[in-house]
Amino acid sequence: MTLQTIKTTPYADQKPGTSGLRKRVTVYQQPNYVENYIQAIFDSLEGFAGQTLVIGGDGRYYNDVAIQKAIRIAAANGFGKVLVGQGGLLSTPAASHVIRHYKAFGGLVLSASHNPGGPEGDFGIKYNIGNGGPAPEKITDAVFDRTKVIDSYKTLDTPDIDLGKIGTQQIGDMVVEVIDPVTDYAALMETLFDFDAIRALFKSGFTMTFDAMNAVTGPYAKAIIEGILGAPAGTVINGVPSPSFNDGHPDPNLVYCKDMYDLLMTPEGPDFGAASDGDGDRNLIIGKNRFVTPSDSLALLAANAHLAPGYKGGIAGIARSMPTSAAADRVAEKLGIEMHETPTGWKFFGNLLDAGRVTICGEESAGTGSDHVREKDGLWAVLLWLNILAVRKQGVDEIVREHWATYGRNYYTRHDYEEVDSAIANALVDDLRGRLSSLPGQVIDGLEIAYADDFTYHDPVDGSTSAKQGIRIGFKDGSRIVLRLSGTGTVGATLRVYLERYEPADGQHNLDTQEALAPLISIIEKLAGIQKRTGRNEPSVIT
């Protein structure tokens, strides 16, 4: 096993986004592309000699190839041990737990989350630090700086590791331990939830369907929902991970889970439906005749968390990303706990969680989680919902309606314009940003603008500042429009528009969402000219 130092040249496009470096598989297949990026990560870290590194991914195409490269580079750079999921699999929340549970130095999570897979699909690499969460900006900025000048990487000339065989193997001076990807995670879930109550719920005749979308959550859901909790075989569908996600799009929303939604809206459908995404960190929640928006789900989980054993003492606080609706704010206010608004990206929750300032976090993009790990966690959200249903002995629709009658309803939607020409998208945002100071006081279609700004976050724990995190336009009646460019796409730019209107507890809660928000949809077109400038007559996706 020869230590090799391989000469290389930099790539100019290796700037990590909010969730690591995501590109087309064909980009990652370029000579030394993976090696450059991983070496740049290690070059930006200190003190890992002899330490443990966790490696795993969502099983998408190229996962196995990239993991073998990562193992060799880790060994050549002086790591003492690598923990890798069997078959290269580790859901993102499970990887976070393994890092924390085994006190690893950090981890490499190989995933492009909810993006399509396969040879023509997407791939990604993200570095997580020792608390189990995504690397903060000071590290990702350093990694990007390093990628721009890197001229060599270290590796070992050695055969591939057998990722199918649980146990230890040796590569140079480094131990590689292949672990069951599910066991540790399932044990953690058992400490958080009342599994006896959930078992009783299933025995009572309660039915559900969980769509794993041929992604990484399949083995976890089968082991926990069908195995430990005793749900009937077949409750988990599309449960076998596929490198192409069976040619599907592993994004748990009403577009790609339309069949499930349609089923839940019929008398013949199950009582509860749920889904998770490519790497297992997002979730979809649907009850009989009731889709629960991610923003509402965050608020409902926070309001009812005390019903689960892991949170019976109450929660310390709630954090949400800025574009997420303010539904959770009303829960925090009633509970008398802290409420934090952060930029989009789970890494911004890490300091708050580590400091004990918050217990539950969420994003409108179908991500919710708690202080049990430092990532969002799709299956955790589903299990907490099951725990709540088991204890309250009510259906999802009834629980949601009672919540609105107590806190009011935040009508909320997100309009995505995907793969927009980057120059057009950036010019649109820059133009609107330049007019923000002139907007307060203007009345458009009868609504007066109360404030308009570009969100800047001041971290209350470490004092860091993150600017230009999204344009906010707020109205005197409490309505709000947010516009930002997403960092999760791989081609062009994704322009996201978030629209929100608050209806009080004694107000009208049964309007169609798009109808309720029609005035705001009209206003943002007048302000930003999205359709005119992009040539799009409608969003690519509405959630």
Catalytic residues: 113
Distance between CA atoms of 57 and 526, rounded to whole angstroms?
A: 43
- DSSP for 308-342, please give it: SGGGTT--SEEEEETTS-THHHHHHHHHT-EEEEE
* Rounded Cα distance, 5 and 1, in Å: 13
CA-based nearest residue to 38, from 88, 76, 73: 73
Three-class SS state of 51: coil
Count of residues in the chain: 543
CA distance readout (Å), 287 to 265, 267, 405 = 8, 12, 18
Residue among 27, 42, 33, 38 nearest 78 (CA)? 42
Residue with token string 């409750």 = 235
Q: What is the DSSP letter of 437?
A: G
- Contact partners, residue 521, CB within 8 Å, separation at least 6: 415, 499, 514
Q: Packing angle between helix 378-392 and helix 396-407, nearest 10 degrees? A: 90
Pairing of β 52-57 and β 81-89: parallel
Task: Give CA–CA dist 301/314, Å, rounded.
Answer: 12
- DSSP, collapsed to helix, strand or coil, labels residue 199 as helix
Sign of torsion, CA 335 455 45 128? positive
- CA quadruple 229, 232, 237, 242: dihedral sign: positive
Q: Which two tokens stand for residue 198?
A: 């959930």
Q: Does residue 483 contact residue 530 with C-beta atoms inside 8 Å?
A: no
169 burial (CB, 10 Å; 0-12 / 13-18 / 19+) is: middle
- Could you give the angle at the alpha carbon of 347 between the alpha carbons of 416 and 107, nearest 5°? 115
DSSP-derived letter for residue 307 is G
DSSP 147: H
Rounded (10°) angle between helices 422-434 and 518-528: 100
